[in-house]
Amino acid sequence: MSIDYILEPSPDYACKFINTKKSSQVIILYGNLSAKYEGRARAELELAPRIVITKPDGTLMIHESSKREPVIWNPPGSTFYALSEYGILIIKSVRPSPKEYVTIEVPVIHFIGAFNVGVSKSYKVHGSEEDLRNYLMNNLHIVEDGLKLISKEYHTQVGSIDLLCEDKNGNYVAIEIKRAQAGPEAVHQLKRYVEYLSNKFQNKKIRGILVAPDISASAFKYLRSYGLEFRRLRSTI
């Protein structure tokens, strides 16, 4: 598990280094570089010391000294290669769709390293909305007494309804779950579902319940004006 690296390599060497290792290792380059991005938008970086990271899946990122986000990047599925032109290392990346181009010129290369890194296959985040939905599905009484599950993730043309239930009076109930504070979009989403269901099941009364740990003031106003309901639920999962 030794790493491959080189300090102040020649452009030609760096070029070969990158092209031979890019498909199997994470490559990290440190150098003075300028860069350009063109695609859905455009951006340009003046010559300055930065860090370039590439991954075998085609990801390419340029990082600076602040922010979690790269300043310039192309996502997985892109392809890239290095070339040496006029004694300068150039890295070109293309994202197939939408067409996006990143070009990096590296007149001064301080360091290149190639690292063997894996990917956690079993990686799972807990406490997501999905977890909350699964929990509620089996504990519908928490939302309201007498609810019976009809379907979870009921897919419609207007999106998928987290939980579709029937209440003790025979009404259908669309439940929209948010793991964090609900905003106006959540309310509108729920309203769309209720409208859709009202249209589809004209003989049924349709209720809509928004389940979330909290709701913003304006969102609550909408909710009320639409005749929807809110059920506060701290996610203790």
Other beta carbons less than 10 A from residue 153's beta carbon? 12
Candidate list 86, 87, 97, 125; residue touching its own copies; CB under 8 A:
125
User: CA triplet 48, 52, 55: central angle to 5 degrees?
Assistant: 170
From its own copies, DNA, none, interface partner of 219 (C-beta below 5 to 8 A by class): DNA
CB 206, min distance to its own copies, A? 17
From its own copies, DNA, none, interface partner of 16 (C-beta below 5 to 8 A by class): none
41 near DNA (CB under 7 A): yes
Candidate list 8, 12, 85, 185; residue touching DNA; CB under 7 A:
185
From its own copies, DNA, none, interface partner of 49 (C-beta below 5 to 8 A by class): its own copies
CB 73, min distance to its own copies, A? 6
Q: Is it true that the peptide bond before 213 is cis, omega within 30 degrees of 0?
A: no
At 114, which amino acid appears? A
Helix (H, G, I), strand (E, B) or coil at 10: coil
- Look-up: residue for tokens 């997501």? 128
From its own copies, DNA, none, interface partner of 88 (C-beta below 5 to 8 A by class): none
CB 143, min distance to its own copies, A? 21
Q: How far apart are CA 222 and CA 189, in angstroms?
A: 11
CB 26, min distance to its own copies, A? 6
DSSP state letter for 186: H
